[in-house]
Structure 1
Amino acid sequence: MIRSSIIKNAYFTSSQDGDIKKVLKNIKSSVNFAGMKQTHSSDVKIINSKGIYNSDGIETNTQDLPLVVRVADCIPILMQSNNLISAVHAGWRGINSSIFEKSLKNHNFKSLKISIGPHAKECCYEVKEDLKQLFPSSTIELNGRFYLNLRKRIEEFCVKENIELEVSNQCTICDDSYYSYRKTSTIQRQFGIIWQ
């Protein structure tokens, strides 16, 4: 498990950490949480109680309510500013639909901290011409193949706005400690967890 170095109660699990209830019991001693039934959209919901929400982003100012994002290769994003926290699932569809920018709407940039967990990285995230066309400045070409840096827009935005950002070094495709749909077509997922 990876613990954020900039957000007090933010964690990213690996395939070895077990299901979400076991993880929460180990780190928080409570199994109540708010999660998402992800839709690969740019929908972000403001919530205040446990449950599963149809969206790719949830945020709350409710104390002691863990927010959980499930991912395999997409980017798990955890955010905190003042007393607001967010958990976001950002795949290429969500990034293209501006989910990251939409998830920032209620945050105070001066106190905002963002942690990005393990995800498919440009070392392994091979894409076809259609995604190269969609993300031309985020795609690199090696030996006639295209590889996507899905977090590039996020990093550029954070630099421009002077937002504190940390990015995990782990790639879900080449690191066997993580589930990867692209690598094995698994339905298993790891989690990003944040609470205040």
Structure 2
Amino acid sequence: MSELFLKDTLELIHPDWSVSPRVRAATTTRHGGLSDGPFASLNLATHVGDDPQRVAANRQRLSQTLHLPSEPLWLEQVHGTQVFECGQAPVAGIPCADASLTRTSGRVCAVLTADCMPILLAEREGRAVAAVHAGWRGLVAGVIEQTLAQMDEPPERIAAWLGPAIGPQAFEVGAEVRAACLAADAGAADAFVPSPAGRWLADLYALARRRLQQAGVCDLSGGDSCTYSDAQRFFSYRRDGRTGRMLSCIWLEAQ
């Protein structure tokens, strides 16, 4: 490929929260890149079958647009609870984790999603930030609680923003998913309603909010998008199968 062509204007979503100006954060949509077909246009994942040259160009364009102070910390996400803490030392390879956190300015925490929920966490004065990949498995396993424990900040000083994920009218699951969620938290029953197909519609946002609030985090925002129903703005694995990934990132500017 000798030439790449920009498809459309890069579109970003920024959390609407009250935190220190040191805290910088954004989530991408599918707009503003160079990828084609099911990956059009701002696919930022290398593992989905997209042209590596286009993914690299998309990542470079995002970095330039956001003026990122460093390469995002890319993770191998496995729907678990491992949290990688990024400090001053260089990171070797791609950590296997579903969340990352940092207290160091200039290190960019990031997660890739296309229906699962990106959750961005910030200590309001800018002492620590984290990015969490939260599907239903991660929520049940405790990825939010594990991240908060490693942040080691008073929960009343944490702000949480829930990024674009599959919405409650589209996330149909089987009885086994509901049972797993209720086994971990009986109160999670309120996040499920019967579907016309005899299954269950799950509210991933409600499940995440409940977990955060139970952990003492009450400064919550976001949670008002649906990746599945908004094909113009978002990638959705459940809707399309072969598709791209959005990036949610957060970092601390130098004081």
- Fold similarity call, TM over 0.5: yes
Match of 2:75 among 18, 36, 48: 36
2:140 paired with 1:96:
yes
Match of 1:10 among 25, 43, 59: 25
AA of the residue aligned to 2:192 = T
Contact 1:179-1:186 within 8 A present in 2 as well: no
Report 1:44-193 matches (<5 A). Answer: 44-48=83-87, 49=90, 52-81=94-123, 82-105=126-149, 106-136=152-182, 137=189, 138-143=191-196, 144-160=198-214, 161=216, 163-176=218-231, 177-193=233-249
Q: 1:47 to 1:162 in 2, by over 3 A?
A: closer
Q: Secondary structure at the match of 2:94?
A: strand
Q: What is the aligned residue count?
A: 196
Q: Secondary structure at the match of 1:20?
A: helix
Q: Secondary structure at the match of 1:34?
A: coil
**Which of 1 and 2 has greater Rg?**
2
Q: Deviations over 1:165-184 (max 9, x none)?
A: 11231101001110111000
Q: Secondary structure at the match of 1:89?
A: strand
AA of the residue aligned to 1:191 = L
Q: Deviations over 1:20-64 (max 9, x none)?
A: 332121011545221211111111121224563210011111101
Measured after TM superposition, the shift of residue 162 of structure 1 is 5.0
Q: Deviations over 1:67-106 (max 9, x none)?
A: 1110011010111114111011011111111111111112
* Richer in strand (by share): 1
Q: Provide the alpha-carbon RMSD of the alignment.
A: 1.8
Unaligned runs of 5+ residues in structure 2 are: 1-11, 33-41, 43-57, 183-188
Contact 1:179-1:190 within 8 A present in 2 as well: yes
Measured after TM superposition, the shift of residue 125 of structure 1 is 0.6
Measured after TM superposition, the shift of residue 115 of structure 1 is 0.7
Unaligned runs of 5+ residues in structure 1 are: none
In the superposition, the TM-score normalised over structure 1's length comes to 0.91
Q: Deviations over 1:115-162 (max 9, x none)?
A: 110001111011112112223512111323411112323312444525
AA of the residue aligned to 2:219 = E
More moved, 57-66 vs 141-150: 141-150
Q: 1:61 to 1:190 in 2, by over 3 A?
A: same
More moved, 80-89 vs 158-167: 158-167
